[in-house]
Amino acid sequence: MVMAMSDARSRPRALPDRDTLARQAVAADPVKSVWVSANAGSGKTYVLATRVIRLLLAGTDPSRILCLTYTKTAAAEMKDRVFRRLGEWVSMPEAQLRKTLEELENRTPDSDRIAFARNLFARALETPGGLKIQTIHAFCDALLHRFPLEANVPGHFEQPDTEMVDALLGQARAEMLAHIDGDTGGDLAAAFRTVIELSGESGLDGLLDEAIQSRSKLTALLREIGPAETRREHYLDAFGFNDDDTAERIIAGALSSLTACRPVVRQVLEASAGVSAKTGRNFAEGFLAALDAVETDPPGAYAQCLALFFTAAGKQRATGTLFNDKAVLTVPDFELAYESALETAGRARDRIALLSQIDNTLAALAVVDRLLEGYERLKRARGYLDFDDLIERTATLLLRPDVGAWVRYKLDQGIDHVLVDEAQDTSPVQWAVIRSLTDEFFDGQAARDVRRTLFAVGDEKQSIYSFQGADPASFGEAGEAVYRKARHVFGPEGFENMPLQTSFRSTQDVLTAVDTVFEHETNRAGVSRDERPTRHVSLRTDQPGRVEIWPMERASDDDEPTDWTAPVDAPPLPSVVVAGRVAATIADWLASGERLEGTGEKISAGDILVLVRSRDAFVGTLSRALKNHGVPVAGADRLRMTDHIAVLDLLALAKFVLQPADDLSLAAVLRSPLFDLDEETLFAVAYDRGREPLFVALRRKAEGSSRLRAVCAVLDAWRERGRTLPVYEFYASILAGENGREKLTGRLGPETPDMLDEFMRFALAQERAGLPSLQNFVSVLETASPEIKREMDPAQAQVRIMTVHGAKGLEAPVVFLVDRGAPPHSAGNESRFLEAKANEGKEIILWNCSGGPKSDVTEAARAEVARKAGEEYRRLLYVGMTRAADRLIMAGYAGKRGGKGDTWHGVVERALAPFSRTVAYSDFEALRFQVTKAPAVMSEASEKAGTSQTVSLPDWFSDRVEREPPLPRPLSPSGASGIAVEQERDTAQAEETPSLLTVDSVDGSPSFAIKRGLAIHRLLQMLPSVEPEERPVRAVEYCRRLETRWSGDEIEDVVSQALSVIDDPAHAALFGKNSAAEAPVMGTLTLGGERRAVSGVIDRIAVDGDRVLIVDYKTNAAPPTAAEHVPDTYLRQMALYRGLVAPLYPEKTVETFLLYTAAPRMIALPRALLDESLAVFNSL
């Protein structure tokens, strides 16, 4: 998992108060074991880094410190923080360093102490083994490599990357399905049929997907319950069944018990004679009839009895009318007999259902076992241990009774201090590893006389990774266990439980909103073990923020028209409405220069984070809405490889190479950027060909088309490569060797290169895994569909749209929290493997199939899953709200029946509405929650802008303003031919001035000369704003994007021509810092005896001393050699530009030039020539 750390933009950091400093000092004390419960934004990373530094200052050898982080990104940031602070001490002035150390250790350092502190940076770097700040997986990897024999792992084992794991799992899945296909009569095939019958094809896919995700848990179960022959016995014993129990035996036992009720029921039947009410009589007749059928049809008799007590949906029937029946009231024992019969029938039904669930579970486990066995075999053959293996093998090694003690003894001599970051996300098996490492810290029998410590920092309120095995209760339970051990050995000074409550991140308005929401006991359930409400305190005193609750947008209740042909203005979907509101609001902020109340800084796109619960269609809808409003937005933080169209095009190519008769794949390849065949041409090839394959039709049509012949030649070459080259080389030859990468990127957008890189990495991983065939690659890729994780960089100044899970550890000044209106838990999203309670409270897995029976055991397990899902749902809300530093906006959308109950929006609105006021937007009203009364903070820029200054007004300020002339359609200087507006294309088509704008190629496409002129034009516009040393590289990159078919020599020619103009000393002023490109200009001039409005865009303008230089670029293929040969149209254009610009610079001389990009050639236009041309113009 990839997780970025805090990304707050540069702004003054809130200073800690005395209480915070005191708590941080205790938490960083190197002689105590400390359990830190840190609220969001309370500086836990700073405390962790400070503790490492305090340990180093205390003389601890860097190699004896082990700091375990949750991600590689967190480890890298932790190292950076530690080494940056130690590095600053090396050159810090002595007085400042003395003060720093005194604040850190609460004592005055002497000169030796100061010298020791300066050497810590080098000591930490040079110590063999170094400072171990790493993930727990990296630690386990190193440990297993150190003790491979003891751990029973290959000494040369490798850790496969994500692509490799996906490839192996995909291969194992493909092999399993192939094995089932060839073993139609075996046990595995029978189990497979059972799974398909109960859950369908989609259910099978879901089962296999979840088996892959939960492979560690399922592998442990399969190991525990033994081989297939003994598994049923294990399950029967776990749930209290006898080995010979069957549904028939259970039914027989139930019917035997029910027969005991016959006399009482017969009394009811006899009493019903002459009674008008039929309820009692009907029940008695039905019950007695069922008992009469016991001998001939036991299953039928049992079914009849069940129907008397339960509805078809399985619900218990109401008894009010039955118990009040006159006949029933005359039989005192009936109600007790009814309850006994009900319990007997219900228990039998439940036991039969549970027995059936056991058999179904065994079938599912048989399929899963074959899948995981194949995966393990593929790993074992290559010497791989994946992430789960590392943790499991390490835990097993440390707990082995024969060698575990010796391994721990060896570690006992190398680790004195263990620090655990994000401890709330540590899984139970990871805690087992940590306990094995640290238990001896507190038994008083260490190999050395050193006070050894365990430090953990986390926040159970932010435990949101249950799908990775994290258990929020483990954090508190582990802390209590360490507390007991440390206090027992070292006394009260041996352990501290230290909460950090003050936030450096968020304003008090945001934090008070969080407290108000979670002070309700219902909302707090599962968020924190503390029965008291959580309190957050902001260190950003007197900095106002705000929280808003926008209305939940629900789908309309109007029925859809029955006549689908009738015109109708369909109301937009609720998600579209909310996306539009969010996008419009952000666009308005950016356009108006909206400022944050707490800092006075302008809001930028990079300050905004939109959080959602899951990556559904709303993410794409919002992204489009933002783009439509001109708001920069980052791409998705996670993408499935097979969802990207570039990957689909490459897969289609592989399918065609493997099977040329695959018409659909060939059509996709032809329409892709690789060939860019237009729809008309493809239709002409494909239409009216009968049963003829498309490839054959393409060859036939190619006989009369040179373009199609070229396409066929390329396809034949690729088919030949597909048969002979490995997958990676096959695709590399197309993407790199034949400009396929540039073609795909040019058409499909800036995200494409990243996706192509991941695609090629996957291809390489599959080759390394020993799965080299193209057919195998296609099968595995479509099966595995790897997920690509992308880092979101706030420095890019783009709005980020992420899930709350993905935003863990991030923050932003402005956060939109969008609720999709779905309930906290959905039965459709339940785990397919339920951890059910068996006898003696032991948990065992049952398959939760959609089409099977339900038992009380599984219903109780499902209820527990729903409870835990609701708790994590509320923790997700806490994490989402606490990402906001200054502004938090709660929005939501839902269907007709959604958005109610305990959804995020409902929880927040109910809690904050009584304390909020209504604010109006253009199309809706919202609630605004604020508690800070301080005024908005003004930034330094705002204060400077607001400083008044007395200046003298110019003389013309009091002159009478002339009346504006009536303005007809503005005249364009580039089209000035008489008074008519004439485009350059018209002049360009004149015989004496052939233009590059005139297309004369055979196929109607621009020639190289045309593209060359346009490229030079664009480069002359852009490159002056680029640093000189970067211009050649940027120019080449632009040319490659502009035209992927250009050779390197052609690109070099274009770039060198453009740079020769810019770098020419004679043109230095034109492209210097006092110049601008594409300068719009508009004004009024007297032309032909009347005032005319004139507007245009000057290609380049520059101010050089007492001169103003104007340049217009021309694309004529045959540029003139001197000013006298310049067409009159161009002279009149430049004369008008000069007339517009001259009044703006009354004390400067305006000089005009034409730059012909085809040469390139710069021609200065004499003033007299322009005056003559303008005079002729005025005489027309």
Q: Which amino acid is at 1171?
A: D
Q: What is the pLDDT of residues 627-676, one digit of tens each?
A: 899 999 887 667 778 888 999 999 999 999 999 999 999 999 999 999 98
Q: Any bridge partners for residue 1100, and if so which?
A: 1077, 1111
> Is the distance from CB of 267 to CB of 329 less than 8 angstroms?
no
Which superfamily, per CATH, for 29-154+388-500?
Answer: P-loop containing nucleotide triphosphate hydrolases (3.40.50.300)
CB 269 within 8 A of CB 285: yes
Burial of 719 (0-12, 13-18, 19+ CB in 10 A): middle
Q: SS3 of 595, please?
A: strand
**Residue 581 backbone class (left: φ over 0; alpha: ψ -120 to 50; beta: rest):** alpha
Supply the pLDDT for residue 1094.
Answer: 83
Domain 29-154+388-500 matches domain 973-1179 at the CATH topology level = no
167-189 residue pLDDT tens: 788 888 888 888 776 665 578 88
Residues 6+ apart with CB under 8 A from 803: 611, 612, 613, 614, 615, 637
Instruction: Determine contact, residues 536/501, Cβ cutoff 8 Å.
Output: yes
How does the average pLDDT of the chain come out, rounded? 83
With 90 as the cut, is the pLDDT of residue 926 above it? yes
Q: Work out the pLDDT band at 812, boundaries 50, 70, 90.
A: very high
DSSP SS3 for 140 = helix
pLDDT of residue 275: 79
Q: Are the C-beta atoms of residues 594 and 607 closer than 8 Å to each other?
A: no
Look up residue 151 and give its DSSP letter: H
Token pair recorded at residue 390: 């590392």
> What integer pLDDT is reported at residue 939 of this predicted model?
54
Percent of the chain, pLDDT > 70? 88
Q: How far apart are CA 821 and CA 823, in angstroms?
A: 7
Strand residue runs (E) in 680-741: none
Between CA 697 and CA 689 the distance in angstroms is: 7
Which residue is associated with the tokens 């590399």?
A: 732
pLDDT at 52 over 90: yes
Residue 991's contacts (CB-CB under 8 Å, 6 or more residues apart) are none
| 570 has pLDDT over 80 | no
DSSP category for residue 955: G
Distance in angstroms (rounded) separating the CA atoms of residues 195 and 953? 88
Phi, psi dihedral angles at 331 (to 5 degrees): -115, 95
Question: What band does 958 get if pLDDT is binned at 50, 70 and 90?
Answer: low
Q: What is the pLDDT of residue 264?
A: 92
Please check whether residue 621 is in contact with residue 583, taking contact to mean a CB–CB distance below 8 angstroms: no
Task: Select from 669, 490, 691 the least CA-distant residue to 682.
Answer: 669
CB atoms < 10 A from the CB of 128, how many? Answer: 7
Helix 279-292, helix 247-259: angle, nearest 10: 130
Domain boundaries, the chain: 29-154+388-500, 162-382, 546-559+571-637+795-824+878-929, 641-790, 973-1179
Q: Specify which of 607-611, 987-991, 1084-1088, 1115-1119 reaches the highest per-range mean pLDDT.
A: 607-611
Among the listed residues 123, 114, 146, the one whose alpha carbon sits nearest the alpha carbon of residue 62 = 123
Query: 524: which 2 tokens?
Result: 């707090």
The answer to whether 890 and 815 have CB atoms below 8 angstroms apart is: no
- Residue 197: what residue type? E
Q: Residue 942, SS3?
A: helix
| pLDDT reported for residue 1036 | 87
Question: What would the DSSP string read from start to end of 5-63?
Answer: ---PPS-PPPPP-HHHHHHHHHHT-TTSEEEEEE-TTS-HHHHHHHHHHHHHHTT--GG
DSSP 828-853: GG--SEEEEE-GGG-EEEEE--TTS-
User: Quick check: 54 and 29 in contact, CB under 8 A?
Assistant: yes
With a pLDDT cut of 90, the percent of the chain lying above it is: 28
pLDDT of residue 671: 93
Give the pLDDT band of residue 953 (cuts 50, 70, 90).
low
How far apart (Å, rounded) are the C-alpha atoms in residues 476 and 481? Answer: 9
End-to-end alpha-carbon separation of the chain, Å?
74
pLDDT band at 956 (very low <50, low <70, confident <90, very high): low
CA–CA separation, 473 and 136 (whole Å)? 20
Please compute the mean of the pLDDT values over residues 1150-1164 and round it to a whole number.
84
For the beta carbon of residue 920, count every other beta carbon within 10 angstroms: 8
CA 460 – CA 668 distance, rounded (Å): 50
At 766, the pLDDT band (50, 70, 90 cuts) reads confident
Q: What is the pLDDT of residues 845-875, one digit of tens each?
A: 998 887 778 888 988 988 888 888 888 899 9
pLDDT in tens, 690-730: 889 999 999 998 888 889 999 999 999 999 998 888 899 99
Q: Rounded distance, CA 1013 to CA 1020, Å?
A: 11
Position 97 scores a pLDDT of 92
Residue type, 932: T
Mean pLDDT for the stretch of residues 956-962: 64
Q: Which two tokens stand for residue 760?
A: 């090629």
For residue 502, CA distances in Å to 21, 23, 50, 455, 1134 come to 10, 10, 17, 20, 66
Q: Which amino acid is at 906?
A: G
Residue 585 has pLDDT above 90, yes or no: yes
Cite the annotated binding site by residue number.
38-45
Give the model's confidence band at 581: pLDDT under 50 very low, under 70 low, under 90 confident, else very high: very high
Length of the chain counted residue by residue: 1180
CATH fold of the domain at 973-1179: Lambda Exonuclease; Chain A (3.90.320)
Assigned token pair, 506? 């968020």
* Maximum Cα–Cα distance across the chain: 129
Tell the CATH topology of 546-559+571-637+795-824+878-929. Rossmann fold (3.40.50)
| Model confidence pLDDT, tens digit, residues 1035-1057 | 888 887 777 778 888 888 888 88
Instruction: Tell whether the model's pLDDT for residue 307 goes beyond 70.
Output: yes
Q: With 70 as the cut, is the pLDDT of residue 795 above it?
A: no
pLDDT of residue 1009: 67
Task: Give the 3-state secondary structure of residue 633.
Answer: strand
> Which residues have CB under 8 Å from 192's CB, separation 6+?
180, 204, 363, 367
pLDDT at 1016 over 50: yes
Residue 839 and residue 843: Cα distance in Å, rounded? 8
Q: Is 658 exposed, middle or buried (0-12, 13-18, 19+ CB in 10 A)?
A: middle
Contacts of 70 (CB under 8 A, 6+ apart): 3, 135, 421, 422, 425, 426
Architecture of domain 641-790: Orthogonal Bundle (1.10)
Rounded to 5 degrees, φ, ψ at 174 are: -65, -40
Q: Give 303-329 as a DSSP string.
A: HHHHHHHB-TTSPBPP-HHHHT-HHHH
CA distance to 649, 656, 672, 705, per residue, from 667 (Å): 10, 9, 9, 18
Chain segment 79-137, per-residue pLDDT in tens: 888 999 999 999 999 999 999 999 888 888 899 999 999 999 988 888 776 788 889 89
Distance CA 723, CA 720 (A): 5
Beta carbons within 10 angstroms of residue 449's beta carbon? 5
| pTM assigned to the model | 0.71
| DSSP single-letter state for residue 1091 | E
pLDDT higher than 80, residue 2: no
Query: Which residues 6+ apart lie within 8 Å of 1066 measured at CB?
Result: 1162
Predicted confidence band at 445 (pLDDT cuts at 50, 70, 90)? low
pLDDT at 980 over 70: no
Binding site for ATP, by residue number, is: 38-45
**What is the pLDDT averaged over residues 32-36?**
88
Q: How confident is the model at residue 571 (pLDDT cuts 50, 70, 90)?
A: low
> How far is the CA of 53 from the CAs of 29, 101, 500, in angstroms?
10, 11, 19
Q: For residue range 473-497, what is the model confidence (pLDDT) as tens digits?
A: 778 888 888 888 877 777 777 788 8
pLDDT, tens digit (0-9, with 9 covering 90-100), for 869-925: 888 899 999 999 999 999 999 999 988 777 677 899 999 999 999 999 999 988 899
